[in-house]
């Protein structure tokens, strides 16, 4: 009888994330997971998936109930491109197979949430542009972008994400604030039960350290 | 605590000092501990509108006074977390509140050495309202038994009854705004700063999903100015209260069945399930929204099976109200039971429960089903031995005793209270201290059920109408089938007719 709320995290694991950024992301993911486990609504509804992208796209966590999630640290390659377009293409395929929509016997899932985080710009721009348009046609409840650090390009994520938040620096404190916000957003999503009631389904305001680009 | 201490002036003219470290955040407020360790200050993150400030002044002023300064007003301190004063730090307003009692924080948390790390966190109702959350995730010592959930329902009903009597509506009764402690059987209504006064203070929010009344859900899309838009009120509180009680007792939502209204759009489907098309999963004449336990998780299967565990296991008084709330009154708000109805029904139901002899039973208590062979509906363990039931009759006119529609199940160490021997006494906040302790108790001794008289000066065995025998204080009487006990207490008389099942 319980509808599921699928949540996808797309995380940049390209070479530039090495060092403090990826350490912060790994910590952020762990904090996110424990926050969701402390929430009785999220435990009942949220399914979490983590997909990383660098030269390759990897589904390091297939859609899993938060209680059962086992997360390994993300280890980026030493260098290489950022295949965000390819990641979106992979995500679209997952969307079509993962999401339980029409079924006579059981209720469909809630519209999924998507969080995309990158510290650079897509290397496969043509594919990216194409898939960004395609993603917008799908039924996501919200798509939130996050650009971290000085080199990140907000314009690209704005093509399909709203809002896009910007972390001025990619140090651990801004990452942890961001992941706290992500978990608050997911928690709010799992509580709202899809009801758009008087702002109940609105995302919580982002923390002070984060700029909303638009 | 190493954080800085700040001070702020209250409207009442006091100075409050608090630690400048957020201990918790709600949807609208950030909360800080005061240095006296007994209170918290909750600052609104956004500036308050004039109307909201006026409302707070009423809540901390006249309404607080009306409820807490009445006779026995202290009683309400356990049932409400009510703001007592307003502060202003030059930019933002806040309220001063009593700190939550320690029992509302997890003492043991989750299983496997608290694998979810929830020890010392608030016991939000949602933890106890799905079978998987309660039985597969929480430590056994946190579960609470069915008797305690009945008591929690009773206390919440009583709190809501008091608010409604004052002309106030809570407007957002939900798991989040009612703290419960199933292990100790207590409850406390919080977040009363958004309460609604008809024609004066309007609701800020429409409520929390799962608890919003169907007529409110069905009109959420309308603009504020639209006359057809339904806003939270005492009538919608009644719906939320019924859902809370049902959910605590049966661990399922009364409107979440198998029926699908929109195959393509789950969000719209939810709106219909909870709104326009809302249908009780146990509707006696329309089973199209019944549950489908075969699709449920293992721990949920039993509780979702409404054939195995229908709402009627809650006994006659509560069943009547569940029907009124979810069949007759679901789309007819005026027909919904009042908080007072729930309170009275729960008081009587608590007299109908008996312990289950199965130590592993998840509920530990169940309501007597009026049959000759009672069986626990939660674990199918039959009752062993003889079961005494006391039927209560009150004197209306000389020597005429009319049934009170009230029975009392006897179990080991069951107490008899003044409200069992005098129909004019109701166990609630108005109970006089002299009436709050027991007048006698029952024991099972040498294969006999005995009643021990502790305080009744005028207790008679009236089985033989012509030959009443006085039972003195300290004496016992065996509870035999057909025994009639006559009690004169205050100025009324009650007859207790014993049945042995």
Closest CB from B116, B209, B296 relative to A200:
B209
Tell whether domain B122-351 is in CATH 1.10.510.10: yes
The pLDDT assigned to A198 comes to: 42
Mean pLDDT on B427-451? 91
What does the alpha-carbon distance between residue A124 and residue A85 come to, in Å, rounded to a whole number? 6
Residue B379 β-bridge partners: none
Architecture of domain B386-500: Sandwich (2.60)
Q: Are A135 and A91 in contact (CB under 8 A)?
A: yes
Residues of B in contact with A40 (CB under 8 A): 124, 126-127, 130, 133
Phi then psi for residue A153, to 5 deg, are: -105, 115
Please check whether the two domains, B5-99 and B122-351, share a CATH topology: no
Residues spanned by the domain of A81 = 5-212
For residue range B56-83, list pLDDT tens digits in order: 999 999 999 999 998 889 999 999 999 9
For residue range B174-206, list pLDDT tens digits in order: 998 999 999 999 999 998 888 888 777 888 777
The answer to whether the CB atoms of A37 and B271 lie below 8 A apart is no
What does the alpha-carbon distance between residue B483 and residue B497 come to, in Å, rounded to a whole number? 6
Nearest CA in chain B to A5: B266
For residue range A88-121, list pLDDT tens digits in order: 999 999 999 988 765 656 778 888 999 999 988 8
Domain count, chain A: 1
Task: Give which of A112, A198, A199 to mutate to test B binding, by max B Cβ within 10 Å.
Answer: A198
Q: Which DSSP helix (H) or strand (E) runs through B114?
A: helix B111-114
Closest CB from A34, A102, A204 relative to B117:
A34
Q: Are A51 and A71 in contact (CB under 8 A)?
A: no
Give the best-scoring range by mean pLDDT among A176-180, B13-17, B319-323: B319-323
ipTM score assigned to the predicted complex: 0.83
Residues of A in contact with B130 (CB under 8 A): 40, 44
Instruction: Give how far Cα B486 sits from Cα of A174, B70, B428, B458, B474, Å.
Output: 75, 35, 25, 8, 17
Q: Are B246 and B322 in contact (CB under 8 A)?
A: yes
What does the alpha-carbon distance between residue A91 and residue A51 come to, in Å, rounded to a whole number? 8
Say yes or no: B291 contacts chain A, CB-CB below 8 A. Answer: yes
The answer to whether the CB atoms of B217 and A197 lie below 8 A apart is yes
Closest CB from A40, A102, A106 relative to B133:
A40
Quote the crossing angle between the two packed helices A84-98 and A125-137, to the nearest 10°: 30
For residue range B325-373, list pLDDT tens digits in order: 999 999 999 999 999 999 999 999 999 999 999 999 999 999 998 888 8
Structure tokens at A185: 């957003």
The answer to whether the CB atoms of B209 and A193 lie below 8 A apart is yes
Nearest CA in chain A to B220: A197
Topology of the domain comprising B5-99:
Phosphorylase Kinase; domain 1 (3.30.200)
**What is the 3 state secondary structure string of B61-77?**
HHHHHHHHCCCCHHHHH
Residue B12 has pLDDT above 60, yes or no: yes
What does the alpha-carbon distance between residue B388 and residue B383 come to, in Å, rounded to a whole number? 12
CATH number of the domain that A150 lies in? 3.40.50.410
**Mean pLDDT estimate for chain B:** 92
For residue range B243-302, list pLDDT tens digits in order: 999 999 999 999 999 999 988 888 889 999 999 999 999 999 999 999 999 888 888 999
Mean pLDDT on B105-130? 94
CB count within 10 Å of CB B499 equals 15
Phi then psi for residue A130, to 5 deg, are: -65, -50
pTM for the structure as a whole: 0.91
Residues of B in contact with A200 (CB under 8 A): 205-206, 208-209
- Structural domain boundaries of chain B? 5-99, 122-351, 356-384, 386-500
Q: Which of A200-204, B110-114, B397-401 has the lowest mean pLDDT?
A: A200-204
Task: Give which of B111, B116, B295 to mutate to test A binding, by max A Cβ within 10 Å.
Answer: B116
Closest CB from B121, B209, B300 relative to A192:
B209
For residue range A45-61, list pLDDT tens digits in order: 899 999 999 999 999 99
């Amino acid at each position: 009888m319980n509808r599921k709320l699928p949540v996808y995290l797309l995380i940049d694991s390209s070479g530039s994330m090495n060092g403090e950024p990826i350490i912060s992301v790994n910590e952020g993911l762990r904090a996110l997971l424990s926050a969701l486990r402390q929430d009785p609504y999220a435990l009942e509804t949220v399914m979490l998936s983590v997909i990383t992208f660098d030269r390759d796209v990897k589904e390091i966590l297939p859609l899993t109930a938060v209680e059962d999630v086992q997360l390994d640290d993300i280890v980026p390659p030493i260098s290489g491109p950022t295949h965000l377009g390819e990641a979106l293409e992979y995500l679209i395929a997952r969307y079509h197979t993962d999401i339980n929509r029409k079924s006579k016997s059981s209720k469909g899932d809630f519209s999924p949430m998507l969080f995309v985080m990158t510290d650079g710009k897509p290397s496969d721009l043509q594919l990216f542009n194409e898939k960004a348009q395609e993603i917008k046609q799908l039924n996501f409840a919200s798509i939130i972008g996050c650009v971290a650090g000085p080199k990140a390009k907000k314009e690209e994520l704005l093509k399909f994400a709203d809002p896009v938040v910007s972390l001025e620096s990619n140090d651990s404190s801004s990452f942890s604030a961001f992941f706290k916000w992500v978990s608050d957003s997911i928690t709010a999503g799992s509580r709202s039960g899809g009801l758009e009631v008087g702002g109940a389904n609105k995302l919580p305001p982002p923390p002070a350290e984060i700029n909303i680009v638009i | 605590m190493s954080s800085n201490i700040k001070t702020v002036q209250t409207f009442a003219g006091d100075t409050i000092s608090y630690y400048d470290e957020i201990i918790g955040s709600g949807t609208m407020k950030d909360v800080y501990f005061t240095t006296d360790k007994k209170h918290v200050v909750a600052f609104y993150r956004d500036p308050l509108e004039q109307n909201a400030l006026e409302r707070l002044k009423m809540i901390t002023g006249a309404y607080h006074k009306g409820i807490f300064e009445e006779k026995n007003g202290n009683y309400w301190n356990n049932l409400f977390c009510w703001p007592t004063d307003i502060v202003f730090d030059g930019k933002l307003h806040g309220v001063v509140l009593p700190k939550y009692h320690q029992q509302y924080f997890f003492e043991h948390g989750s299983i496997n050495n608290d694998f979810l790390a929830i020890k010392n966190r608030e016991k939000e109702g949602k933890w106890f309202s799905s079978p998987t959350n309660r039985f597969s995730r929480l430590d056994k010592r946190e579960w609470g038994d069915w008797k305690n959930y009945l008591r929690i329902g009773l206390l919440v009903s009583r709190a809501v009854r008091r608010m409604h009597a004052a002309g106030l509506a809570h407007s957002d009764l939900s798991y989040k705004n009612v703290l419960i402690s199933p292990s100790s059987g207590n409850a406390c209504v919080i977040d009363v700063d958004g309460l609604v006064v008809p024609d004066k203070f309007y609701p800020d929010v429409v409520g929390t999903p799962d608890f919003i009344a169907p007529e409110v859900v069905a009109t959420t899309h309308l603009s504020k100015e639209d006359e057809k838009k339904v806003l939270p009120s005492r009538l919608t509180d009644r719906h939320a209260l019924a859902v809370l009680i049902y959910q605590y007792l049966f661990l399922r939502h009364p409107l979440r069945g198998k029926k699908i209204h929109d195959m393509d759009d789950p969000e719209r489907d939810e709106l219909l399930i909870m709104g326009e098309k809302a249908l009780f999963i146990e509707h006696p004449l329309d089973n199209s929204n019944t549950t489908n336990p075969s699709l449920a998780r293992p721990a949920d299967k039993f509780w979702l099976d409404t054939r195995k565990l229908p709402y009627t296991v809650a006994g006659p008084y509560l069943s009547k109200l569940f029907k009124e709330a979810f069949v007759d009154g679901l789309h007819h708000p005026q027909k919904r039971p009042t908080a007072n109805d729930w309170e009275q029904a729960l008081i009587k139901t608590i007299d109908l429960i008996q312990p289950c002899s199965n130590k592993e039973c998840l509920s530990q208590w169940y309501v007597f089903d009026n049959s000759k062979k009672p069986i626990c509906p939660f674990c199918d363990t039959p009752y062993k031995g003889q079961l005494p039931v006391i039927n209560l009759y009150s004197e209306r006119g000389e020597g005429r005793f009319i049934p009170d529609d009230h029975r009392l199940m006897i179990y080991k160490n069951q107490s008899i209270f003044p409200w069992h021997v005098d129909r004019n006494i109701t166990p609630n906040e108005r109970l006089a201290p002299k009436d709050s302790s027991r007048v006698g108790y029952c024991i099972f001794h040498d294969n006999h059920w005995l009643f021990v008289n502790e305080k009744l000066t005028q207790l008679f065995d009236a089985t033989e109408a012509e030959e009443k025998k006085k039972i003195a204080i300290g004496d016992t009487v065996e509870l035999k089938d057909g025994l009639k006990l006559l009690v004169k207490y205050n100025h009324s008389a009650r007859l207790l007719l014993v049945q042995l099942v």
